[in-house]
Structure 1
């Protein structure tokens, strides 16, 4: 029983990060119907930026994080304005392929600027584990989970309680109707990309503070794909549930069966869920006239 709880809780904590990455994917898809393959590498780029501020410039965390988020905001704006906006009116596949190209661009850019070496973050939280009876949990993972949940809470308030959030939700429902009501759909796209880049940067900081950051960190973003597809491409609560589900499945499979199986178990669960509920656990069925 102790082993089960150990693997379960560890999976939940790791799943919080997957959920945060999945949230960025949902934001982009809800606003533009584009599946963003560059989200993981945006996270990696954000991790390098945050490491630079912390380790090279020597800024404290309370100063580094706002600067990193502001830079991420700018990166999101530039990506939307320069790479995605020219494709408005073009087939969605064209925009999806651009996000795939951006993934390689971000990876090459970081190697050019920072090299392929792993960069270790300064100690941000105590390294001593937290013990709950016989269960041992990493303080890094605990803080990562707490920050992820807080980020979800703040973004939920933003979407449901602020004018900008309401405009984003309206535009996500129907672009043409929103535009006829005077809502700038292009502005909503830009805002979505900026928020997604900020969320990715926060994820880069959280993951980088555990094992460091290198150009392969973006590959962890692949774990967000089953998370967001399980939860539903347009569901913010689904991103949270999907991320936690992926983390739990990975933790239990790695702990009880084989560590290597933990890497593929979430994708196997994804296949099973999509066989019986293709729209995801929290996705909406749509009937379209063709």
Structure 2
């Protein structure tokens, strides 16, 4: 039982990282009607910014993270203001190709600014652990779980209980109608791009202590975030978050209890089988277009 609980707690940490990235993808999809393929790459770039301020400038870790979040806000806003707004007449698939181009841009800029050598970012709480019924998890892992759940709770409150959330949901439902109703859709999409970049940066900062800060830092997070969106459904904001936590839990359980080699592949195979029978996801609904 203690082993299962420990796996579950670590899965909540991993699932929270996937959920942050997935929520960034779904916010862009719902407000801009495009799949943001560069979510992970932008998160990687802003994680480099955090690492630069910590290792090179010598700023405290908390201040370096704030600098990274400011950089994320600016990078998201610039992408929307300079690129996406000027591509209004481009088809949806064309815009998605533009986000693929953003991957190449950020992959090119990052080594030019920060070098090609791997960097490292420490944990917020370097030592210590807490036990629950025989299961141990580090203080930093518990902090990541709390931060992930707190951010999710705050964003869902923002979406459901505030005027800004109403504007986002209205824009997500129908941007043209929302504009006719007086909703400042341009401000909503600007906020969405900035928020998505912030969520990507937070996911990068949370996963960076477990590996090196390199150009492929967010590759696994990006893939699992996309799978979470497909599993949970693109029609809601909370479906991909649920899918992310499910992936985080099932992956660790399958790797430990079934196969350390094939556990991850088995998970993806099960997801494919599920999508075959329910292609719109766990929470998503079948879209019917009237003609």
- What range is the shorter-chain TM-score in? over 0.9
Asked if structure 2 preserves the Cα contact closer than 8 Å seen for 1:140 and 1:209, the reply is: no
Structure 2 counterparts to residues 148-167 of structure 1, below 5 A: 148-167=148-167
Q: CA deviation at 1:147?
A: 0.9
The answer for the alignment partner of 2:233 in structure 1 is: 232
Stretches of structure 1 that go unaligned for 5 or more consecutive residues are none
1:68 matched residue in structure 2: 68
Counterpart of 1:241?
Answer: 242
Q: Which residue of 2 aligns with 1:3?
A: 3
The structural deviation recorded for 1:84 is 1.6
The number of residues matched between the two structures is 290
Aligned-partner Cα distance in 1 for 2:79–2:213: 22
Following superposition, the deviation at residue 255 of structure 1 comes to: 1.0
**Range 260-269 or range 230-239, more displaced:** 260-269
Secondary structure in 2 aligned to 1:137? Answer: strand
Indicate conservation of the 8 Å contact 2:254/2:267, yes or no. no
Q: State the Cα deviation string for residues 225-267 of structure 1 (Å, max 9, x = none).
A: 1111111113222122111111011101211233332443442
Q: Alpha-carbon deviations, 1:19-66, whole Å to 9, x = none?
A: 111010110011011111111111111211111122222222332333
Q: 22-31 or 274-283: which moved more?
A: 274-283
Is the contact made by 1:28 and 1:34 (CA closer than 8 Å) also made in structure 2?
yes
Helix, strand or coil for the counterpart of 2:216?
helix
Write the deviation string for residues 65-108 of structure 1: whole angstroms up to 9, x where unpaired: 33221221110011112222222132110011111121122122
Tell me which residue corresponds to 2:288.
287
Aligned to 1:89: 89
Structure 2 gaps of 5+ residues are none
Indicate the residue corresponding to 2:206 in structure 1: 206
Q: Which moved further from structure 2: 242-251 or 259-268?
A: 259-268
Deviations 1:157-201 (A, max 9, x none): 222233222211111111111111122322222111111001111
Alpha-carbon spacing, 1:217–1:279, altered in 2? closer, same or farther (3 Å): same
RMSD, aligned α-carbons: 1.9
> CA–CA distance in 1 between the matches of 2:123 and 2:176?
49
Give how far 1:9 is off.
2.8
Q: Within 2, Cα distance between the matches of 1:190 and 1:265? A: 39
CA distance in 1: counterparts of 2:117 and 2:131, whole angstroms:
33
Do 1:55 and 1:122's aligned partners in 2 also have CA atoms closer than 8 Å?
no
Greater shift, 131-140 or 118-127, is seen at 131-140
Which piece of structure 1 moves more, 119-128 or 73-82? 119-128
- The residue that corresponds to 2:275 in the other structure is 274
Q: TM-score, normalised by structure 2?
A: 0.92
